[in-house]
Structure 1
Amino acid sequence: MNELMVICVIGIAVAMETKKLKLNLSDLKAKNEQLTLEKRDLQNQTEDLRTNMTKLTAEKMFFENQTKEMTTCPKDWIQFQESCYFFYNLNSPWKTWDQSRQFCQSNKSDLVVISSLEEQTFIKSKIKYYYDTLHGYWIGLQKVNNIWIWVDGSPDTLGYLNNPGSSDNFTCIIQNATLTQSWIQNRNGFLNRFICEIKALIF
C-alpha cells in the first residue's frame, strides 16, 4: 500500500513537472515567435534605411554635378563668387607688369580687378609672402593721366594703397600688410608674381 502511494505521488509530481515544462516550452515558443517578428521588422527597417540612403546619395551626387556644371573654372584656378583666379606662385621666373598681363591675356583672362572689400579679403588670404616686403603679386591697377584705372577701364574706388606718394604707375598686392593698405606702387620693370582673373563659366 505504501509503495502504491509512493508511485502515485511520483506520478503526480512527474505529471506536474511535465505540465510545467510544457508551459515553459509554450512560453519560449511564443517569445521566439515574437523575437522572429521583431527581427523581421528590424530587417525591413534596415532595408528601408538602405533604400533611403541610396536615394540620398544619388540626390547628393546629382546636386554636386549640377553645381559643377553651373559654375566651372579652368584647372588650377580658384573660384570666388562669380570669378576664377589664378595665383602665379612660381619661384621663378617672376614677371614685369606688362609680361604678367600678357600671360593672363594669353589664357583668355586679365590681371585681377578688385572691386570690393570681400574680394580684397579673399585675394589677400590666398597670396604668400616671399623674398621681401616689396615683392607681391601684380594686380590690374595702373595710373593713367594721374588717375588710377583698372584694366577693365573702371576707376579705382577702394584706394588700398600703402605708399600713395610714390611716382610709380603700377600696383601689386603684398601679404605682409594690413588689409586696406596692402597695394604697393612699383615701376613696370619690377619683377613680381601676379594674379589673373576670368569670369566663371555659368551654364
Structure 2
Amino acid sequence: MAEEISYATVVFKNGVQPPKEKKEDDTVYATVQVATLPSKTPNVEAAAESRYFYLLLVSLVILCVLLVTCIAAIISICVLMANRAETFSAALSNLTLVKQQLIMERNLLENQTEKLLRDIDNLNWTLGIILKHDTFPVNEFCPDKQCQPCRKQWIHFQEKCYWFDERPPSWKTWDQSQRLCKDKCADLVVIDSQQEQEFIGLHTKEYYTRNHGYWMGLRKNDEGKLLWVDGRNVTLGFWSKDSDRSEPCVSFIPVENITANWRTRSCSMQNKFICETAVLIRTSVH
C-alpha cells in the first residue's frame, strides 16, 4: 500500500564509518540492497487457497452429480431396454405359437381337402359303375340299405369283384361265358399279377375231368394273336409246361401247378367260367 514504509539495511563501502548527522533532517543514502518481501500477507494467501479449494469442491460436487445422473440415465435405459426385450420376446413367443397353430390348421385343411378329393373321386367311380347297369341291382349291392363293394355271391379282392360259376352242370362255351358275364356288367377274368393268379387258384377246384377248367378272358384274335378281352396284350403268363397253345381260347386248369396252369382249348368246349368287374366302392385310390 502507499502508506506502508519499507525498511532496508544500509551498508557503506570501503569501511568508511558514517559521519554523524549534523542535523536531523539530513539523510545520507548509499547503495541499498532491499530484501524482497512477500507481496501478500498470510491472510490473503489463506483466503486464496480457501477459494481454490471451494471451487475445486464445487467442481467435484457438480461432477459427482453429473456422474450420478449419467449412471441413473444408463440404468433407466438398461431397464427400459430389458423391458422392451422381454416384451419383444413374449411377442415373438406368441407369434411362434400363432404360426404353429396356423401350420396345424393348414395341415388339417390340406388333409381335409385331400380326403374330400378322394371322396369325390370315389363317388365319381361309384357313379360310373352304377351307370354301366341298365337297371342297377340295388338289393344285391346294398342289402339292408348298406352298400358293399361287391354284390351278393361275389368275392372281393384288390378292388375287383369275382364270380366263380359253380352252378349245377350247365357249362358254357367261351362265347356263352363272356355273354353271361356281360349280362352282369362284367367280363371274363383278366389276370394281371401273380397275387391274382394265386387268389383264383384258391377259389377253383377240379371237376369232371382233369382237362376241364375255367374260362378266362383271353383268346386269339382273327390274326392269331392272344389278347385279353379289354384289348391288352399278354405281358404276364402262367402257362402249363406242355401247353402247345394251338387252340384259340384259354382256360384255367385248377389241378395243375398254381403258377403254371393255363392251357388253350377249343372255344366250343364247355367249361365253367370266372367273371370279373370293378368294385362299386373303392377302399383306396391308386
Taking structure 1 as the reference length, the TM-score comes to 0.63
1:130-158 superposed Cα distances (whole Å, 9 cap, x missing partner): 01111010000112223221101111112
Q: Does residue 153 of the first structure (1) align with residue 231 of the second (2)? A: yes
Q: Which residue of 1 aligns with 2:79?
A: none
CA distance in 2, matches of 1:142, 1:176: 21
Separation in structure 2 between the aligned mates of residue 76 and residue 90 of structure 1, nearest angstrom: 12
Q: Provide the rounded CA distance (Å) in 1 between the counterparts of 2:270 and 2:192.
A: 24
Q: Name 2:72's counterpart in structure 1.
A: none
- Tell me the secondary structure at the aligned position of residue 170 of structure 2: coil
In 2, distance between residues paired with 1:119 and 1:71? 21
Partner of 2:172: 95
The aligned counterpart of 2:11 is none
Aligned length: 136
1:1-203 map, 5 Å: 72-144=149-221, 145-162=223-240, 163-202=242-281
Rg (Cα) greater in structure: 2
Please give the TM-score of this superposition, normalised by the length of structure 2: 0.45
Residue of structure 2 in register with 1:46 after alignment: none
CA-CA distance at 1:70 after TM superposition: 8.0
1:183 & 1:198 partners in 2: Cα distance?
A: 21
Consecutive unaligned residues in structure 1, runs of 5 or more: 1-67
1:56-96 deviation per Cα after TM superposition (whole angstroms, max 9, x unaligned): xxxxxxxxxxxx96851011000001000000012310000
Query: Pairwise CA RMSD of aligned residues?
Result: 1.7
Higher relative contact order (CA 8 A, sep 6+): 1
**Inter-partner Cα distance in structure 2 for 1:159 and 1:69:** 38
Q: Secondary structure at the match of 2:259?
A: helix
Q: Is the 8 A contact 2:188 2:217 kept in 1?
A: yes
Of 116-125 and 180-189, deviating more is 180-189
> Identity of counterpart residues, as a percentage?
42
- Does the aligned pair in 1 maintain the 2:218–2:226 contact within 8 Å? yes
